[in-house]
Amino acid sequence: MSASNPNCPNGDRTNFSYDDIQKCSDGFTTKCAFTAANGAKGLVTDRWTIVSSMMFTVRRSVVIEAAPPAAGLRFGLHLQPAFPEGVNFNDLQYYAPNACYNLNDLNEDGVCDYLDSQVLSYRDDRLNALSVLAYHPQRQLALSLSRIDTPKYDDEPIRRKGQLAFLQDTDIGALGFQPSGSAINNAMLTAHYPFVERDRCNALLVQDRVPWGAFRPVHAGDSFSVAYAVRMYHSSSPHDAVWTLIKEQIGVLCPKPVCLDRPEDEISRLRLETLAQYFKEDPTGGAGFVTNCHPQNGQQLGNIVQYGFTGQNIMNAANILHAPTSWQLDRQQAFKVIDFYVSCALESAHGFTHGLYNIDQQRRDSWWTGLLLPLAYAKPGEDLEGLMGPLHGHLQTVIESLSRTHGVYTRCVLEETEALLSLYQSLNDAPKSWLEVVTRFGEFLLNAQEPDGSWFRAYSLAGEPLTEPQTWFGQTLYQQRSSTATVIPLLLDLARITKKDAYREAAIRAGRFVRTHFVDKVRHNGGIHDSIYAKPQLIDHESIYFCCRALLALYEVTKSEYFRAGAVRAAQLSASWVLLWDVPLPPKSTLACHGFRSTGWAGCDTPGAGYVHPMGIIATPDLVRVAQITGDTTFLDIAELCFMGSNENVGCKWGYALEGMQEEGLLLSPWFLDDPMFANDNGFGDRRKGEGNKTCLPWISAVTVWAGNELRKRFGTTDFAKLRQQIPL
């Protein structure tokens, strides 16, 4: 137990022992009378219920008998495994979907990369399944701690800027893990109510990563309760352990899909009609979809064509060309976008293009993602610090280095090239030049593949690997080769089309690398290209999605059990990124006022856990396919949750300027509340819990419309009731 201390998130801690232990038919009832350091008095009653030999629940009830004015308390539960042979902290692997995967330790130094600590505690609203898990590889044993009474209410804390400890009446607790301090069994799982995030967190400040925590205000007669489940189970891998936990929590949380206010195909039509309003061209033939606005007003920040990742110009063009002819869309816009891209790519022996094209200035730039996007529409001599705000100072060394570096991300080239190949195969009269662009990139991949089967994350326009600055392109093998999985399906398509075995062989070699390094070791990362956190690459949902997609494609071609098992493992992790419950939001927040539900939304990255976006929808077709090949309908259930959730907040009723507009991301948990980077006056501020990120980019329409099209293409329907009939039981 901790009593409130305004100067310390940990508070004034006191350990109490049970005064009374009564055995019951199905467990124990234990009681502890307490007097806290601040004078508050009361009684804690823990009801321990044995559910099975491998599971018990703990329902904690607290009654306050007396308390001085402005008193606050926090209650903790620590679970320490007791192995006869003992265990060190780093003998175990740690998971907290979607905040932590294998300790988030890409440099393998035994601490979380993003928080530089082994003492880790996450608010409930950062946890998709309200759970944490420790996995013992030698024993193949998992121990998990889950909250089983869903949090019902939360609001913005009343605190001064910089205040790390405060009183707050919130139902949000925290779960985590840390060393126990024991010489023999030095590990434990933790629960706290209300929340504390320590020893570091990303709730307040980008660089300092200070901890913070709430204390429940208490008074005489106050009472409250919280409930947890402790589970133990044997699993052959951490992937199976996480998947077992997810399925158990689905049974507890009973997630229900979001109900859309209009049919999915109608939403797709509106998305494409809105996209068309952001088509721009110049007199030289430059053309693209340049959406880059605050969705609340729809006004452009800059007319920049972005390729891959947040741009997805060819995928957007393909969506328009595949749309029903009854939809009022200008298909010539799509062809102009494609023609411009192809003309640029044909200037490169490798099928590369500059990642950015400034329509207004008719200028090409390299695409080092959001970090340098403001530079693309900066005028010569313009004050970059004034343009970029505190972000410029935070990453100035990286910005200066990248601004002199020209090249491409592997993922960005892949996404545009793959969409072009798919379109080439679907149109009877597609120009041969489209295939020429694709084969040039394919030949580059054959020549650039490393002996271990991997590719680098980025290359210069001449085709040389880019590794400097390491603080951006990666400090470890996992980071520098993080995009390897992205290109595998393209290589398999080229092998089928050209009958050239070298493509298939390269894909297989890459698949072994992907499964060994990213999937089996749970070191996936780098799907997202820009990081403002302590390390250059993020452990994110997109990276494990790409692994699943790649290994599934290899299984479909080779029928190898090795690739099938790898695809299933990747799918288990991918599905764990999807929220299984409705996070309570501040009642006056924008999302709460619109009746937003969080179930089905996918997390973005682990250091930003609690931030969700519709990109998760891109994984739904593969999750459906994995459900088919395994007979496990939980994959289908999660695919449905994600497909519906990602289509939830589209249109004017959500406060957006156009009917087909959707915000890029949403905050379900506090994020950098005190950091000047997101001050209220810079247009992107007010990023509090229950608010959006004030951003709209072309990728949103691209992946959401594509996902519906892909489900219809592969399975004939987007009706999940009909899809269930296709699952062999």
Alpha-helical segments (H) within 576-698: 590-593, 620-630, 633-646
Please give the single-letter amino acid code of residue 629: I
Neighbouring C-beta atoms of residue 46, cutoff 10 Å: 19
Q: Look at residue 729 in the predicted model and tell me its pLDDT.
A: 63
Q: Which two tokens stand for residue 718?
A: 């987007």
Mean of per-residue pLDDT scores for the chain: 94
Q: What is the pLDDT of residues 125-165, one digit of tens each?
A: 999 999 999 999 999 999 999 999 999 999 999 999 999 99
Query: pLDDT digit string (tens) for 187-209?
Result: 999 999 999 999 999 999 988 99
Task: Report the first-to-last Cα separation within the chain, whole angstroms.
Answer: 48
What SS3 class is residue 263?
A: coil
Please name the residues in contact with 191: beta carbons below 8 A apart, sequence gap of 6 or more: 76, 77, 78, 145, 147, 173, 174, 175, 176, 226, 228
C-beta neighbour count of 278 within 10 angstroms: 22
Q: Does residue 307 contact residue 376 with C-beta atoms inside 8 Å?
A: no
Cα 287 to Cα 295: distance, rounded to the nearest angstrom? 22
**What is the DSSP pairing of strand 196-197 with strand 212-217?**
antiparallel
| Residue percentage of the chain with pLDDT more than 90 | 86
State the pTM of this model: 0.96
Rounded Cα distance between 641 and 650, Å, is: 16
Token couple for 311: 């741009």
Res 468 pLDDT > 70: yes
Please state the rounded mean pLDDT for residues 63-81. 97
Higher pLDDT, 471 or 120: 120
Residues paired with 55 in a beta bridge: 52, 231
Which residues on adjacent β-strands are paired with residue 293?
A: 300, 696
User: How much is the pLDDT for 385?
Assistant: 64
Overall average pLDDT of the 442-448 stretch: 99
Task: Tell me the Ramachandran region of residue 121: left when phi exceeds 0, alpha when psi lies from -120 to 50, beta otherwise.
Answer: beta
Does the pLDDT of residue 684 top 70, yes or no?
A: no
Q: How many percent of the chain have pLDDT more than 70?
A: 95
- Please, what is the Cα angle at 154 between 149 and 160, to 5 degrees? 140
Counting Cβ atoms within 10 Å, is residue 270 exposed (0-12), middle (13-18) or buried (19+)? buried
List the structure tokens of 204: 């307040």
CA-angle at 574, arms to 572 and 575, nearest 5°: 65
Which of 256, 264, 131, 243 minimizes the C-alpha distance to 599? 256
CA distance 339 to 284: 12
Task: Kindly report the CATH number that applies to the domain delimited by 2-253.
Answer: 2.60.40
Kind and range of the H or E element at 502? helix 501-513
The residue-averaged pLDDT of 516-534 equals 92
Q: Which pair of tokens denotes residue 68? A: 């001085």
Domain boundaries in the chain?
Answer: 2-253, 264-724
Q: Return the structure tokens found at 101.
A: 């995967």
Rounded Cα distance, 188 and 640, in Å: 35
pLDDT band at 262 (very low <50, low <70, confident <90, very high): very high
User: Residue 39 and residue 45: Cα distance in Å, rounded?
Assistant: 19
Rounded distance, CA 19 to CA 16, Å? Answer: 9
Q: List the structure tokens of 541.
A: 């949902």
pLDDT at residue 403 tops 50 = yes
**Residue 379 pLDDT > 60, yes or no?**
no
User: What pLDDT score was predicted for residue 377?
Assistant: 47
- Of 174-183, 361-370, 392-401, 551-560, minimum mean pLDDT range: 392-401
**167 pLDDT higher than 60:** yes
In degrees to the nearest 10, what's the CA dihedral of 95, 96, 98, 102?
Answer: -20
The domain made up of 264-724 has a fold known as Glycosyltransferase (1.50.10)
Q: Of 628, 512, 526, nearest to 563 (Cα)?
A: 512
Q: What does the pLDDT average to over 645-649?
A: 99
Distances from the Cα of 350 to the Cαs of 441, 465, 484, 580, in angstroms? Answer: 5, 13, 17, 43
Is the separation of the CB atoms in 537 and 106 below 8 Å?
A: yes
Provide the 3-class DSSP secondary structure of residue 227: strand
595 pLDDT more than 60: yes
- For residue 711, give the amino acid letter: L
- Bridge-based pairing of strands 212-217 and 165-167 is parallel
Half-sphere exposure of 407 (CA within 13 A, CB side): 21
Cβ-Cβ contacts under 8 Å for 683 (sequence gap 6 or more): 294, 694
